[in-house]
Amino acid sequence: MKALLQRVTHAKVTVEDQTVGEIQHGLLVFLGVELNDTEAQAKKLAQRVLGYRMFADSDDKTNLSVSDIQGEILVVSQFTLAADTNSGRRPSFSTAAPPAQAQALYDFFVDQLRSSSLTIATGQFGGAMQVSLTNDGPMTFLLTV
C-alpha cells in the first residue's frame, strides 16, 4: 500500500463538474492499493499519515503533523501508484489490487482516518476525477507499508 502525501493550502476533486471532496489547509493523500495489502497495513499507514510531520512549528521546522495542526485530509484513490514501472515504456498494473479488494481497503483506510478528530474528505473511488490543488512548499512524500 502506498500513500503519496502532498501538503496543500487547498485541494478539491470534481467528477462531471460536481465537487465531491474539498479541503483547505492540510494533506492531499493519493492512495494506491496493491494485491497483497491488508487491513493491518491500511491501519498502520493511516496512523503514519495522521502523525507524519510535514508542517512547520514556530521555529519553521517540520515538527508538526496534520493532527497537530488540526488540518484537513482529502483522500483520492489512485491505482497508478501500484504500477510496476521497472522496465519498458509502459506501466504494468499487474501488482494493483482488483477493484473490489482495493475499494474495501480504501474505505477501511478512510474509516481509520475518520476515527481522528480531523475533517476527512474523499474523491470518488473508480470515478473519472479531476483533482486541483495548491501544493504548499511544495512538500510531497511517498509512504509505503
Q: Which residues are catalytic?
A: 78-80
Cα–Cα distance, 69 to 34 (Å, whole number) = 30
Cα–Cα distance, 117 to 100 (Å, whole number) = 28
3-state secondary structure (DSSP) of residue 18? strand
Cα–Cα distance, 123 to 28 (Å, whole number) = 10
Among 33, 20, 6, smallest CA distance to 128 is for: 20
Cα–Cα distance, 48 to 65 (Å, whole number) = 10
* Backbone torsions φ then ψ of 47, nearest 5 degrees: -65, -40
